[in-house]
Chains A and B, each alone.
Chain A
């Protein structure tokens, strides 16, 4: 793939790449100073990330009933993987993530192209378009609950006024419409971020390439296909991988809007995990679901890390 240096490569030099070193400023004790500066973060992250992560694995191998904890080996995993609810949840997660990410990308790119082509007021417009992404997902979801309210909600009113629907629709009352609704809200929230990345990407495309295309008499569509698209392709792949990682582990919107219902119709893996732990009080099973989710996220993370690896970027 013809990879371009991504946006921002110039802003954040990679820490992993050694810098040319001049004479040591702090003499022979420098290494100890270094440890002293890094130690607080290293210890803190051990306490708040590594220890809890280890504890989660430990929990996944135990049955936790109140104060009684018994070692059960892989029994939790066997039970979770044998449960149809898990596979259904995985399916819902994939549909939710697939649809949301595809729409984030398509609409985000379209918006970025539109904004990039405008000659004035780009910055204020960018801030305005970013609003859904700034506000807490839980608060955004609450606003949408009111918009989608079956009897008094404005969405049903507008759809009826436009003769799209004939009566009030209980959007969150049926599995299919509920899933569509939470996807719509996630799209509303997620598009601005992709738009932001794409706008930054568009700004790095050399103008000469467009000028050359114009001299060759390229139409707008041809300019997009032969100049914009090849230049943005790498960024699109990176952004969608990152977006998959963020969407597949997202809890807030669905947690607030449906809590996984109706009938498990919107129960993505993070919501299944929460419900198993904090509603059904089955911490062992929930931890096993969490480990499964971690494996899924890690698979995409590896792709992401490989894509953004410094040597790859520099080789381009």
Chain B
């Protein structure tokens, strides 16, 4: 396997590139369509490359459609959910690893259980409760919903990270006269930075990519997030595919950038989280 002959490597590369072409073609087509003028979108046969590529559709979605607004909404709820969920998860993970070295099992099993719940089941009571509390069409409703399903995984992951920080460090800080909160904030949190980054990213992307919760909890178009706004454009009488694909690209780009920059962090965290519960 390691001592593969050059011809075998070449063959492997061919197969890999063919597979890659299949996997990435939809994104190429999204980009290609988003850059076409309206007249060329419905050309038959379709053009795989065009000399008329322009950013007009992007200008259109930001000027004539509320895609900018959707973008800001997505950003607010994803950032809010990240902040809330990372704060709560860090507190819990610290408390569990430092103060309950043996009693944490039932709580951890509960976390595992909540990770498995079908979100469609929870969406019904969420809708009823949020509408009773007059929280439909608010950022708060979405932030709470996203935090609720990001938290179990976040706590779970952070427990692992906090475990790896030796307890002697806490003890040294206490010796030096630090209070519990000071130890947590000034000593432990900075050491847990890689873990906090991974969890923050994970929550942000989960919230950014989520669709069903926003679909149910927002009815006012000015409160739509990107995923809902985009899926809604499909229902129009005559779909402007170049504008729709431009909006899809706007939704996909931040995710792609974040992932490729921080791939290492996330991949380790996600593989560990999946296999280890």
Q: How far is the CA of A294 from the CA of B116 in the complex (A)?
A: 9
Q: Which residues of A contact B109 (CB under 8 A)?
A: 16, 305
Say if the beta carbon of B200 comes within 8 Å of chain A.
no
Q: Which label, helix, strand, loop or mixed, suits the secondary structure of the B interface?
A: helix
A-B contact count (CB 8 A): 336
Q: Which residues of B contact A129 (CB under 8 A)?
A: 19-20, 23
Please tell me which one of the listed residues A18, A146, A251, A301 contacts residue B212 in the complex, with CB atoms under 8 A apart. A251
Say if the beta carbon of B50 comes within 8 Å of chain A.
no
Do B118 and A19 have beta carbons less than 8 Å apart? no
| Chain B residues with a Cβ closer than 8 Å to the other chain, count | 114
Q: Which residues of B contact A278 (CB under 8 A)?
A: 127, 216
Do B209 and A135 have beta carbons less than 8 Å apart? yes
Q: How far is the CA of A214 from the CA of B1 in the complex (A)?
A: 9
Q: How far is the CA of A157 from the CA of B47 in the complex (A)?
A: 11
Please tell me which one of the listed residues A141, A223, A269 contacts residue B1 in the complex, with CB atoms under 8 A apart. A223
Q: How far is the CA of A25 from the CA of B176 in the complex (A)?
A: 12
Contact code string A187-200 (vs B, CB < 8 Å = 1, else 0): 01001110011001
Please tell me which one of the listed residues B12, B44, B101, B157 contacts residue A117 in the complex, with CB atoms under 8 A apart. B12
With contacts A34-B98, A119-B9 taken as known, whether A152 is within 8 angstroms of B46 at the C-beta atoms is: yes
Q: How far is the CA of A30 from the CA of B95 in the complex (A)?
A: 10
Q: Which residues of A contact B46 (CB under 8 A)?
A: 152, 154, 157
Do A22 and B167 have beta carbons less than 8 Å apart? yes
Do B129 and A18 have beta carbons less than 8 Å apart? no
Do B271 and A188 have beta carbons less than 8 Å apart? no
Say if the beta carbon of B174 comes within 8 Å of chain A.
yes
Q: How far is the CA of A276 from the CA of B205 in the complex (A)?
A: 29
Say if the beta carbon of B94 comes within 8 Å of chain A.
yes
**Smallest CB separation, B239 vs chain A (Å):** 8
Q: Which of B150-184 contact A (CB under 8 A)?
A: 151-152, 155-157, 159-160, 163-164, 167-168, 170-171, 174, 180, 184
| Chain A residues with a Cβ closer than 8 Å to the other chain, count | 114
Q: Which residues of B contact A48 (CB under 8 A)?
A: 144-145, 147-148
| A15 (CB) vs chain B CBs: closest residue | B159
Q: Which of B1-21 contact A (CB under 8 A)?
A: 1-4, 9, 12-13, 15-16, 19-20
Q: Which residues of B contact A154 (CB under 8 A)?
A: 29, 46
**Smallest CB separation, A17 vs chain B (Å):** 9
Inter-chain pairs besides A44-B151, A308-B276, 8 sampled, C-beta below 8 Å:
A18-B102, A37-B184, A51-B125, A145-B234, A146-B33, A249-B118, A297-B117, A301-B112
